[in-house]
Amino acid sequence: MATKQQKKQPVLPDVSHGMDLLNRPGLNKGTAFTEEERSKYSLYGLLPPHVETLDEQVGRAYEAYKRKDDDLERHIYLRALQDTNEVLFYRLLLDHIEEMTPMVYTPVVAQACQQFSHIYRRPRGLFISYPLRDSIPALLRNRPNPQVDVIVVTDGGRILGIGDQGAGGLGIPIGKLSLYTLIGGIRPERTLPIILDVGTNNAERLKDPEYLGWRHERITGQAYFDFVDQFVQAVKQELPQTCLQWEDFATPHARPILKRYRDELLTFNDDIQGTAAVALGAVLGAVKVTGKSLKDQQIVMLGAGSAGIGVADGLRAAMVGEGLSEQEARSHFWVVDIDGLLHSGRKDLTPEQSVYAQSEERVSGWPRTAHGHIGLADVIGKIEATILIGLSTVGGAFTEAIVREMARKVQRPIIFPLSNPTIKSEAKADDLIPWTDGRALVATGSPFAPVSYGGKKIPIAQCNNVFIFPAMGLAVVASGASRVTDAMLLAAARALAENSPALKDSSASMLPALTDVRRVAAEIAVAVGLAAQKDGVAPKTTENELRQRVVATQWTPAYP
């Protein structure tokens, strides 16, 4: 029976008892409820008699996990555990972070989105469907927990590499928020996954009798943007301090949405801004390894789409930060798209692309194709490229001849084939290392196994957004930021670069190990918080105070 002491200090918030308590994943401790708690919360008889420690529970859960024989089953098991006992779920994940991160997030979450309606078990997050557009504030008020630090919202329009998944896209915010908690330490009950269910154009989903979303083709045009606006206005009203992260919106929606709202509330788009920050962090880390500075680099970029231009914009801002003028910084970029080098003679460039157009005089007399294009091989032949980045979706575009020519002129070529999935990677890591006699500093978009060369195993860093977004979440919560500015993203990239293992050992990975990513997230959060203060979007503190807040904010899974 409960003692006097426990009556004064309840072990758990005195809100539920018996089965009600066991059914609440945020409070449930399962077999780890102590004798006192079992008595206080009327749990006797509902649990087996042996009281377990969290470690013992983790051991048992891992054994059950190991019995699953395919990745989707592993995902389903982990999601079920998350919906049963969150502390246990996160401790299990933390103890097996390298093994399990791919199960809750990319790549396995893609399958979970495709199969969402078939593997659906219990509600998590909010479904905001177009037919309910006039009651969005009420839907938000119906959220499971009143306090929310981070929302991840998608419309399921462009999920990873698998396109339109309609309401099944909710799997992505759920998976992503798990990593906000696991790595950034955002408290699980203060995260909120949301799907804006505007229909789907995926014929397979529409004809699937088990599809759980709104069975309608996608809403488009002004009606779509009006709906998004109704949602944003409701978030501003109901949850004005909450960070709203946009996820996997199709490019024609993603950019206008970000542009419209980024100065209105605490918001960012991870596909655009997070991706650029990770790539930038990896490039800055690689440049540090070469012992040179960014402003000494000649950067060749294959691909001038949203990803390529986003990364180039980040690098350009970093160059200006190192003291170059805007014009000088631009002249360091050689951007090549499907129609060749961007130059001032081209009439097909968007305003974002025109920034990187080299002057026609500078390239006059360069070799051209029959169509008048200047190709990648010719750019590499003409200049002393130190950095080569691929965001073109063209598998194998970094040919042996191109790579060898680049490596002939620089001691440590920085080569980042970043396109996804593996088949679209501009080069394979196991080719780049021998083609450059082991000198290339390589990071990729898709995962590659370590490459054996010269008696060593060279680890290949994968540019994964997981290095940035959980840290951004931690940063804005701990610092009390009200906006996400460019300087904050640049600070995140710089802090990531400073934590590159390759700085200590030049044959080590360019990016931190997942086992170290929580510590790195805290370092990034401090840097981002300071940048927020400098930009006047967070209250001033000393660095030490900010660091203490970051440490206090980063939740660790343990029973109260």
Could you list the active site residues?
105, 176
- Touching ligand NAI, residues 278-297 (CB under 6 A): 278-279
Q: How far is the CB of 461 from ligand NAI (least distance, A)?
A: 11
The contact pattern for ligand NAI, residues 189-208, with x = CB under 6 A and - = no contact, is --------------------
Query: CA 239 → CA 115, 141, 235, 254, distances in Å?
Result: 31, 9, 5, 21
Q: Contact region for ligand NAI (CB under 6 A) — 8-16, 274-282, 399-407, 544-552?
A: 274-282
Own/partner contacts of 234-237, CB < 8 Å, gap of 24 or more, are 234/136, 234/137, 234/139, 234/140, 235/140, 235/151, 235/265, 236/264, 236/265, 237/137
| Residue among 469, 15, 558, 89 nearest 244 (CA) | 469
- Touching ligand NAI, residues 323-342 (CB under 6 A): 336-338
Q: How far is the CB of 275 from ligand NAI (least distance, A)?
A: 4
**Cβ closest to ligand NAI, residue 199 vs residue 303:** 303
Given 391, 460, 492, 497, the residue binding ligand NAI (CB under 6 A): 391
Q: How far is the CB of 92 from ligand NAI (least distance, A)?
A: 27
CB 187 within 8 A of CB 477: no
Rounded to whole angstroms, how far apart are CA atoms 248 and 265? 19
CB 31 within 8 A of CB 49: no
Query: CA 545 → CA 58, 332, 487, 526, distances in Å?
Result: 34, 39, 21, 10
Rounded to whole angstroms, how far apart are CA atoms 504 and 167? 45
Q: How far is the CB of 456 from ligand NAI (least distance, A)?
A: 25
Given 258, 304, 380, 477, the residue binding ligand NAI (CB under 6 A): 304
269 binds ligand NAI (CB under 6 A): no
- Touching ligand NAI, residues 413-442 (CB under 6 A): 418-420, 424
Sequence-ordered alpha helix ranges (H) in 183-300: 203-207, 221-238, 251-261, 275-290
Q: How far is the CB of 165 from ligand NAI (least distance, A)?
A: 16
CB 84 within 8 A of CB 25: yes
**Cβ closest to ligand NAI, residue 19 vs residue 338:** 338
> What residue is closest to ligand NAI based on CB?
305
**Cβ closest to ligand NAI, residue 42 vs residue 399:** 399
Given 157, 184, 281, 445, the residue binding ligand NAI (CB under 6 A): 445
Pair of tokens at residue 253:
């929606």
Pair of tokens at residue 73:
């089953």
Q: How far is the CB of 395 from ligand NAI (least distance, A)?
A: 9
**Cβ closest to ligand NAI, residue 111 vs residue 241:** 111
Given 119, 394, 503, 508, the residue binding ligand NAI (CB under 6 A): 394
**Cβ closest to ligand NAI, residue 499 vs residue 554:** 499
Q: Tell me, what DSSP letter sits at residue 270?
A: I
Given 191, 242, 306, 479, the residue binding ligand NAI (CB under 6 A): 306
DSSP letter string, 118-182? HH--S--SEEEEGGGGGGHHHHHHT-SSS--SEEEEE-SSS-TTS---GGGGGHHHHHHHHHHHH
CB 184 within 8 A of CB 168: no
Pair of tokens at residue 178:
């798990």
Q: How far is the CB of 426 from ligand NAI (least distance, A)?
A: 9
Residues at the contact surface with ligand NAI, assessed by CB under 6 A: 275, 278-279, 302-308, 336-338, 391-394, 418-420, 424, 445, 463
